[in-house]
């Protein structure tokens, strides 16, 4: 069983939903990411998505675009992110999912990517612009190396496609709460919970909901419905604002603890 599946199994028996945290590898510098991830884990993150910076992140809003720029400025590339991942793995057992646009992976070589990612200790990969219809050969190579392919599902995804995406994913499904790019929102989209219910009706995989979730009250709102919540921009913004400050890891821990508290289930909802 993969680290991701094990984590969700443990969450199932516990009193809290999972917290999945995204951050861009190498932002603001490759030397800092390991400490950030350990700090996130300490605060209660259950799974970490490690982003590979890309020059043209079309699915991302300004916060993560800027993180990509900072990381590229610091000289980060895919090999660098895999090295960060290896260093995290030396010190932690937290499930790690690589998050990347397709082109850096194609340039690196897909087969070599799956091999090196697995060796470094990655558990899964989500390739933002790899449409599942184009993904057949890639998925085989990932599974061959024991990497869980994770796909996105949008509020506009048809039921038939949801089935295909569910069959093509391992570990968990990443549900996009609203159409649009990544970024914090004041409130959760009205389409989010119906989406969770629709996917639940055809899939047995754990469901993580993301895009626009950034505060404790969002966590509380979704906790009864999802297996995990994904927070990205709120964490990345903190890194962007305070990247040079020594106290940043402890603040990241505090942010995660606050978010995780919102995912706790009281007995009435278990």
Partner 1 sequence: MAASSTLPDDRGRFGRFGGRYVPESLIAPIEELEETYNKAVGDESFSEELSSLLREYAGRPTSLYYASRLTERLGGARIYLKREDLLHTGAHKINNCLGQALLARRMGKKRIIAETGAGQHGVASATVAALFGFECCVYMGEEDMRRQALNVFRMRLLGAQVIGVKAGSRTLKEAISEAMRDWVTNFEHTYYLLGSALGPHPYPLIVRDFQTVIGRETRAQFKEMEEGELPDALIACVGGGSNAIGLFHPFLSDENVRMIGVEAGGRGSNLGDHASRFEGGLPGVLHGTYSYVLQDDDGQIALTHSVSAGLDYASVGPEHAWLRESGRAEYVSCSDEEALEAVRLLSRLEGIIPALESAHAVAEAIKRAPKASGQTLVVNLSGRGDKDIGIYREKMPDLE
Using rule CB under 8 A, residue 104 touches partner 1: yes
Give the number of residues in contact with partner 1, rule: CB under 8 A. Answer: 40
Using rule CB under 8 A, residue 102 touches partner 1: yes
> Which one of the spans 33-41, 98-106, 226-234, 243-251 is the region binding partner 1 (CB under 8 A)?
98-106
Using rule CB under 8 A, residue 134 touches partner 1: yes
Using rule CB under 8 A, residue 216 touches partner 1: no
Using rule CB under 8 A, residue 112 touches partner 1: no
CA distance 259 to 184: 14
CB 27 within 8 A of CB 239: yes
Cβ distance to partner 1 smaller for residue 171 or 249? 171
Using rule CB under 8 A, residue 74 touches partner 1: no
DSSP result, the chain: --HHHHHHHHHHHSSB-EEEEEEETTSS-TTTHHHHHHHHHHHT--EEEEEPP-S--TT--HHHHHHHHHHHHTT--HHHHHHHHHHHHHH----EEEEE-HHHHHHH-HHHHHHHHHHHT--EEEETT--GGG-HHHHHHHHHTTPEE--EE-TT--HHHHHHHHHH--S-EEEESSSS-S---SS--TTHHHHHHHHHTT--S-EEEESS--SHHHHHHHTTT-SEEEE-HHHHHHHHHHTT-TTHHHHHHHHHHHHHHHTBPPGGG-
49 among known catalytic residues:
yes
Using rule CB under 8 A, residue 106 touches partner 1: yes
Cβ distance to partner 1 smaller for residue 133 or 244? 133
Catalytic-labelled residue, pool 27, 41, 46, 60: 60
Site for partner 1 in 47-66 (CB under 8 A): 54-59, 61, 65
Cβ distance to partner 1 smaller for residue 7 or 65? 65
In the set 156, 167, 187, 250, which binds partner 1 (CB under 8 A)? 156
Catalytic-labelled residue, pool 27, 41, 46, 49: 49
Task: Give Cα separations from 129 to 45, 54, 126, 229, 255 (angstroms).
Answer: 25, 12, 9, 21, 29
In the set 10, 73, 131, 187, which binds partner 1 (CB under 8 A)? 131
From the CB of 154, what's the least distance to partner 1, in Å? Answer: 4
Cβ distance to partner 1 smaller for residue 1 or 137? 137
Catalytic residues: 49, 60
| Binding residues vs partner 1 (CB under 8 A) | 54-59, 61, 65, 72, 77-79, 101-108, 128-134, 151-154, 156-158, 161, 165, 176, 179-181
């Amino acid at each position: 069983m993969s680290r991701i599946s094990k984590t969700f199994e443990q969450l199932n028996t516990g009193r809290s939903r999972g917290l999945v945290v995204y951050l861009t590898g190498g932002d603001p510098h490759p030397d800092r990411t390991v400490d950030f991830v350990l700090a996130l884990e300490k605060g209660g993150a259950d799974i970490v998505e490690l982003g590979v910076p890309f020059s043209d992140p079309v699915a991302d809003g300004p916060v993560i675009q800027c993180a990509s720029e900072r990381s590229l400025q610091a000289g980060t590339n895919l090999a660098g992110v895999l090295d960060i991942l290896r260093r995290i793995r030396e010190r932690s057992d937290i499930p790690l999912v690589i998050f990347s646009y397709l082109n850096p992976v194609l340039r690196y070589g897909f087969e070599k990517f799956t091999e090196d990612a697995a060796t470094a200790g990655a558990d899964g990969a989500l390739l933002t612009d790899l449409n599942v219809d184009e993904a057949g050969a890639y998925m085989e190579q990932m599974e061959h190396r024991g990497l869980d392919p994770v796909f996105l599902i949008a509020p506009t995804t048809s039921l038939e496609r949801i089935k295909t995406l569910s069959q093509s994913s391992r570990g968990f499904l990443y549900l996009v709460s609203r159409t649009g790019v990544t970024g914090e929102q004041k409130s959760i989209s009205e389409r989010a919970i119906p989406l969770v219910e629709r996917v639940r009706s055809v899939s047995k995989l754990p469901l993580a909901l993301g895009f626009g979730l950034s505060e404790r009250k969002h966590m509380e709102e979704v906790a009864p419905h999802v297996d995990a919540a994904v927070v990205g921009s709120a964490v990345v913004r903190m890194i962007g604002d305070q990247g040079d400050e020594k106290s940043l890891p402890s603040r990241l821990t505090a942010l995660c603890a606050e978010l995780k508290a919102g995912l706790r289930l009281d007995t009435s909802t278990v």
